[in-house]
Chains A and B, each alone.
Chain A
Amino acid sequence: MKNLFKLFSIIILIITSNSYSLAAEKVEYLKTDWSFKGLFGKFDRASLQRGYQVYTEVCASCHSMKYLSYRNLAEPGGPEFSEVQAKAIAASFEVTDGPNSDGEMFTRPGKLSDKFVMPYDNVKAAQAANGGAYPPDMSVLVKARGGGVDYIYSLLQGYEEAPSNVSLDDGVYYNKYMYGNKIRMASPLSDGLVEYGDGTNATVEQMSKDVTTFLMWSAEPHLESRHQMGFKAIVYLIILTVLVYFSMKKIWSRVESEV
């Protein structure tokens, strides 16, 4: 037993000393209170709608969102625009369709069933327009980055003057939260860049929070029903477990044995 104790203390020492050294290198992400975290977490509708506005006015000029459809904007658990609003949003985009009976491709206003229109025709075109860097598709971006929402939220606010010992190429910017600190995207947000319809003050912090909330929804459109169902499922399982426990005790009381 003594040996065991020694061994475990060594392991704990190794692990803690390691996380210590890791913590020194790691930057702490900016924190904010996300409404969608926790057992009953839900999206803030107004924030999602503002987030969509930021996406469409700022991000969408470079970043696609190819797995989303305009109908999603009106679906429950999302920004919940009215159907009329969603239709109007869709119709504001030109969609290439076809071929028609003459074999020609044509453009028409977007419909609810259309996928979000992409800013570039393909990856190569996107790279060519952005100095060789591909602006990643944002549909599941939040889930595709280690720090998740906190990382995106911090990154949007993490632009700084590069320290004197860091030299940057043309078209490369310094961001203290970016992996390796070098990023090909210029700081996308500045105070008052968009004008919110609901009168919210469009600070960089506010816009970062709204657009990150929107990205969380786009990555997990069923998050709300997942949380609701999860709570019910776990409560149900706990009640059933308690009932089965007492049944088990009752049944096992017939034999001289412990359960």
Chain B
Amino acid sequence: MSDHDYRPKSKVGQWFNDRLPLLTLANHLTDYPTPKNLNYWWTFGGILTFCLITQIVTGLTLAMHYIAHADMAFESVEHIMRDVNYGWLIRYIHANGASMFFLAVYIHIFRSLFYGSYKAPREIIWIIGIIIYLLMMAAAFMGYVLPWGQMSFWGATVITNLFSAIPLVGEGIVTWLWGGYSVDNPTLTRFFTLHYLIPFLILGLVVLHIWALHVPGNNNPVGIDVKKPSKDTVPFHPYIVIKDGFALLMFMIVFAFFVFYAPNILGHADNYIEANPMVTPAHIVPEWYLLPFYAILRSVPDKLLGVVAMLSAILILAVLPWLDTSKIRSAVFRPLYKQFYWILVADVLILGYVGAMPAEGLYLLIARVATAYYFLHFLVILPVLGFKEKTLPVPLSITEPVLGGSPNLAAARNKESKIE
């Protein structure tokens, strides 16, 4: 922001801005030069901000009516659904909002993987993003426990029990997490507290995420550095604002469909049965967005190693900028990586599918193969690919492919050979 010598026009504005440069910040945000070739996969950053704010606002409202007590939580949720004015609307937005949040974050992450947005100089943005993602999973998991239905209770039991895999201190840690010798009222109240806290941690990290983004500026589909500001960029306002707005509205239509016409389709029916420590559900499954990791957890026969595998599956992403040895960012110019990218997408979808199925027979076999491939992709394929792959020539500026419509490789190649 140091390259800004913005001065407000009014005297009052100058007086204020000299003391707290909020107007300089606002000016930076509106003028922020953005590559003009960003496609719609780039609109999910804005969509995610919307999701976070929606969750916080609906969550605050729900917290005014919800009672975090093992004997009253389920009933208070029914009270919200029946007797609180528009309580059903607020709760369905909040519950489906979590799914929408994860849908958007997965698209956001896979966009980053495709266009190499995690590579230098954007490693910090990426790592902050991974921390946000981890916190999102924690918040979502604890939020799912709050209605105190059967899946809430047994999901909490299964997940907290994972910590017992830690050698020596495991059992002690689990008792400490529970606040007793089983999942019970103390567990519920602390989960509620943490569920309330985490979104604000996420909010803080989102500010850092955007701050870190504004230092190098956005990556783009061509994956090359752009001069800012230049012919290759447009000011954030109004160009990107309206485009993000348009994409957000499309997203909201899908969101509204779930809220108004299929509000329970993404949840599990068992969670409308009040928690009962004496009755275990036939299948304990997490929410859909955690299924791939659940599949990885179950595919390892040893409990401790399963937990390690599951955690590594997420943490491996944090070191991705150094595992991917290719200097080229965008998969558009990496023909081999592009194929492996889509195989990885399929692999994660398969993991999600088998995560929802019982861990036996063919499903278990598929889960094991898919888990092995997941790690193979990051630990072997990516590092090797950087050295072996023959990449396509990258254009010098994004104006070239943009003027030719979509990134036009043939044209770009022709031009390059002419220059030679």
Contact = CB atoms under 8 A, between A and B. Distances in A.
Interface string B243-262: 10110011011001101110
A14 B260 contact: no
A8 B347 CA distance: 10
A226 B218 CA distance: 40
Contact of A144 (B250, B252, B256, B269): B269
Contacts of B403: 256
A255 B269 contact: no
A67 B246 contact: no
A3 B316 CA distance: 26
Interface stretch (B24-32, B179-187, B234-242): B234-242
Nearest to B232: A257
A248 B239 CA distance: 8
Interface stretch (A52-60, A104-112, A235-243): A235-243
Contacts, number: 101
A226 B273 contact: no
B339 interface: yes
B269 A227 contact: no
Contacts of A219: 272
B322 interface: no
B78 A244 contact: no
Nearest to B270: A144
B6 interface: no
Chain A, interface SS category:
helix
B242 A248 contact: yes
A136 B261 CA distance: 26
How many chain A residues sit at the interface, stated as a range, is 35 or more
B61 interface: no
A7 B341 CA distance: 13
A139 interface: yes
Nearest to B245: A244
Contacts of B343: 3-4, 7
B339 A222 contact: no
Contacts of B272: 140, 143-144, 219
A245 B244 CA distance: 11
Contacts of A119: none
A221 B37 contact: no
A255 B260 contact: no
B249 A237 contact: yes
A233 interface: yes
Contact of B346 (A7, A67, A136): A7
Interface in B139-176: none
A146 B269 contact: yes
Interface string B278-295: 000010000000000000
B256 A257 contact: no
B264 interface: yes
Contacts of B245: 244, 248
Interface in A94-120: none
B89 A226 contact: yes
Contacts of A8: 346
A67 B88 contact: no
B269 A234 contact: no
A247 B246 CA distance: 9
A140 B242 CA distance: 43
A245 B261 contact: no
Contacts of B242: 244, 247-248, 251-252
B261 A227 contact: yes
Contacts of A136: 273
Contacts of A237: 249, 252-253, 256
A11 B234 contact: no
Interface string B348-386: 011001000000000000100000000000000000000
A244 B402 CA distance: 23
B241 to A, nearest CB: 9
Contacts of A256: 402-403
A258 B403 CA distance: 9
Given A1-B339, A140-B272, A229-B260, A15 B249 contact: no
Contacts of A72: 82
A122 B36 CA distance: 66
Contact of B239 (A145, A179, A226, A255): A255
Contact of B269 (A7, A143, A226, A233): A143
Contact of B36 (A143, A227, A231, A257): A257
A1 B340 CA distance: 10
A39 interface: yes
Interface string A178-221: 01000000000000000000000000000000000000000111
A145 B269 contact: yes
A154 B238 CA distance: 56
B148 to A, nearest CB: 13
Given A1-B339, A258-B405, A39 B261 contact: yes
22 contacts: A3-B339, A67-B75, A67-B82, A139-B78, A143-B269, A144-B270, A144-B272, A222-B82, A226-B88, A226-B89, A227-B260, A230-B261, A234-B257, A238-B253, A241-B249, A244-B246, A251-B239, A252-B239, A255-B234, A257-B234, A257-B402, A258-B405
In order of increasing CB-CB distance, the 8 nearest A-B pairs are A230-B260, A144-B272, A241-B249, A143-B272, A257-B36, A67-B78, A248-B242, A140-B272
